[in-house]
Structure 1
Amino acid sequence: MYDALTQSAVWRVKTPKSGLVAIALAAIVLALAPVAIGPGSLRLLVEVFTMIALAQAWNLLAGYTGFVSVGQQAFIGIGAYGMFAVALKMGLNPFSSVLVGGIVAAVIGAFAALALFRLRGPYFAIGTWVLAELFRIFFINTQYFGGASGLTLARVLRGIPRDVRLNTTYWLALALALGSTLLIYLLLRSRFGLAVRTVRDNEASAESAGVNVWGTKFMVFVLASFITGCAGAILYLNTMFVGANAAFSVKWSALIIFVVIIGGIGTIEGPIVGALVYFTLREYLSDFGTWYIITFGLVAIAAMIVAPQGIWGYVAGRFKYHLFPVEAEISKDLPR
């Protein structure tokens, strides 16, 4: 059945050019932003872009593959510490080290998958959280990685002009946000993307149809770990300091889940919309003390009641429009 759908049958995805045009225009405009805005705004946009990448990675796991993880902070911290370690201990350029942080996170993710894939449903979610806690305890008690004091890039970045550092960090974050969105979009529109959604819907049926269930889940988990690791490296390159308690905090998973659920889980557009909503609320409400947290809770409750499919899910359902469509259409002209 799977072979028939993905190889013999003529199947296609509707491909309006609006999504690719939107990415191209956004890339051009945002790439020129450092010319027009100040350092504070650049740092904020770095946070926005990294959150989009984090949300896209989690959405790929939960929204398209069915992996609900509450331990993504494990790979945020690993990516950050991986980048800091090679920059400080090996003298590698910190900007180039971002890719190393992602690779380290992907390798750890590959080994972690061997154990985590034995768990199902809520046990998998708890397993990812336990993994993150194990790494937090390890890094906070290992002096090579700064122990409880953490690590700083101040010495490494001292010779780099401030504007160059800020602009380069900004462009790295922008490239990660756009690149992860485009990569996941193209992946989900491919035959592999069809296999991913088949695994999400019913693993037993997918396996009987010829899908390599374990291999599909493994590739998705490693890719999500890589993107999350790169995002973690850029996040803490932006602050120039990393500590285990902050990098491996469960707050990261809470924020990522909030962004995806509010924006629209199972859509490419959802993480982008959710990230914009989150940072808008944060910037305007952060001075209101506890009302800041209360408002977030009220927004989440209201969204789940009014639009349980998320903001973009509601808009797409009402107006029948997707900026990044990924669903496949099976041709009626099946081979004979």
Structure 2
Amino acid sequence: MTTAFVTRSTRASRIAMIIAVLALIVLAAAPWWAGRADLRLMGEIFLYLALACLWNLMAGYAGLVSVGQQAFVGFGGYMLFALTMFGGLHPVVAILAGGVLAAIVSVPIAILVFRLRGAYFAIGTWVVAEVFRLSFAQVSSLGGGSGSSLPVDVVRSLADSRSGREALAYWLALGAAVVVIGVVYAFLRTRRGLALTAIRDSEVAASGLGIDIWRTKLEVYVVTSAFTAIIGGLIFLQKLRISPDAAFSVNDWTAFVIFIVVIGGIGTLEGPIIGTLLFFALRETLADYGTAYLIALGAVAIVVMLKAPKGVWGLIRDRFDIELFPLSYRVRTRDDHQGN
């Protein structure tokens, strides 16, 4: 007798999980086999991956297309400097505290910008980021417009040796990427995640089903803001110096992130991973060509949007019907005597 059942797990997702665990073990051991430059590059890749996953959660699932997430990257970076220099906190504690403060600050911001829709919402988030940039540029104790460097005693509190500090920064970046991916994945598998998917597909239909659209979007905005600030703190922990223009750069922390998500596949968990790898492959290959590098990125984005509107992963998924992160429900059949 054949029995039908509903499942999320697939053979591809199980294989992907095994490969991910093995890759994570190898990456965790990188300070013992990779060079200093490689560690910094991989740390940067992990931080961009985390930012891309967070922006994808907002735009790809909640429909909140923000071009102002650099506000929270910069906020997290400045909180690292302020809380360590004036509050005496350990850098890691300061980074986490910056995430909490960002979550608190994001609530009134959300109440304001959620009144806007579409392109107006996007512009509103950019205006908020500019307000943040101009505000921190006026704080003379943090260097004003020229910025500030992290004090030597704060840097040494991380580890006694330079190699130890670089290894810790790398592990924090790797851990942040793993935590962000895990949190987003776990969230999307909950009832809130199901509601978010319904909102993405049709707000009208979701509202008709009794889903509180405003509250769900607020939760996503607050969570992504908090984690984005934490990532911002980790970014400037690696750089050891901060300035308003660097902290609130729309090009570095939003434009490149949007590029990553769009070419990888918006509205999927696999998309930001593929997009991050493609972005850094292009950057490392074309960086020596000056402005041609940016032109090439733009050309790639245009080609992908025209030929594969769902991104590279969307093209792969539609062709081979695979899902590495099992979020969709699938109906499977089996014979009872085989299942026993």
TM-score, normalization: structure 2?
0.90
Matches of 2:191 and 2:221, distance apart in 1: 17
State which of 7, 13, 38 in structure 1 corresponds to 2:8. 13
> Gaps spanning 5+ residues in structure 2: where?
333-340
State which of 114, 123, 127 in structure 1 corresponds to 2:124. 127
State which of 101, 105, 109 in structure 1 corresponds to 2:102. 105
What residue in structure 2 maps to residue 157 of structure 1? 155
Q: Structure 2 counterpart of 1:298, which letter?
A: A
Partner SS for 2:92 = coil
Q: Structure 1 counterpart of 2:306, which letter?
A: I
Q: How many residues align?
A: 322
Deviation at 1:164, TM superposition (A): 1.4
What residue in structure 2 maps to residue 255 of structure 1? 256
Matches of 2:222 and 2:16, distance apart in 1: 26
Matches of 2:123 and 2:258, distance apart in 1: 15
Partner SS for 1:318 = helix
Q: Structure 1 counterpart of 2:262, which letter?
A: I
Kept in 2, the 8 Å contact 1:11–1:328? The answer is: yes
In the TM superposition, what whole-angstrom CA distance separates every residue of 1:278-321 from its partner, at most 9, and x where no partner exists? Answer: 11111111111121112111111221122221111111111111
> Gaps spanning 5+ residues in structure 1: where?
1-9, 332-336
What residue in structure 2 maps to residue 313 of structure 1? 314
Cα separation, partners in 2 of 1:207 and 1:141, compared to 1, 3 Å? same
Deviation at 1:19, TM superposition (A): 4.0
Moved more, 290-299 or 62-71: 290-299
1:57 counterpart = 2:54: yes
Moved more, 95-104 or 127-136: 95-104
Q: Structure 2 counterpart of 1:212, which letter?
A: D
In the TM superposition, what whole-angstrom CA distance separates every residue of 1:36-95 from its partner, at most 9, and x where no partner exists? Answer: 111111111111000000000000001111110000100100111111111111111112
Matches of 1:127 and 1:235, distance apart in 2: 25
Deviation at 1:96, TM superposition (A): 2.6
Q: Structure 2 counterpart of 1:221, which letter?
A: Y
Partner SS for 1:148 = coil
What residue in structure 2 maps to residue 6 of structure 1? none
Moved more, 196-205 or 42-51: 196-205
% identical aligned pairs: 46
Matches of 1:288 and 1:142, distance apart in 2: 37
What residue in structure 2 maps to residue 167 of structure 1? 167
Q: Could you list the runs of 4 or more consecutive aligned residues of structure 1 that deviate by over 4 angstroms after TM superposition?
A: none
Deviation at 1:101, TM superposition (A): 2.1
What residue in structure 2 maps to residue 224 of structure 1? 224
Partner SS for 1:267 = coil
State which of 30, 41, 49 in structure 2 corresponds to 1:33. 30
Write out aligned runs for 1:142-153 (5 A): 142-153=139-150
Q: CA RMSD in A?
A: 1.8
Deviation at 1:329, TM superposition (A): 5.3
Partner SS for 2:91 = coil
What residue in structure 1 maps to residue 86 of structure 2? 89
Partner SS for 2:80 = helix
Kept in 2, the 8 Å contact 1:55–1:260? The answer is: yes
TM-score, normalization: structure 1?
0.91
Kept in 2, the 8 Å contact 1:172–1:234? The answer is: yes
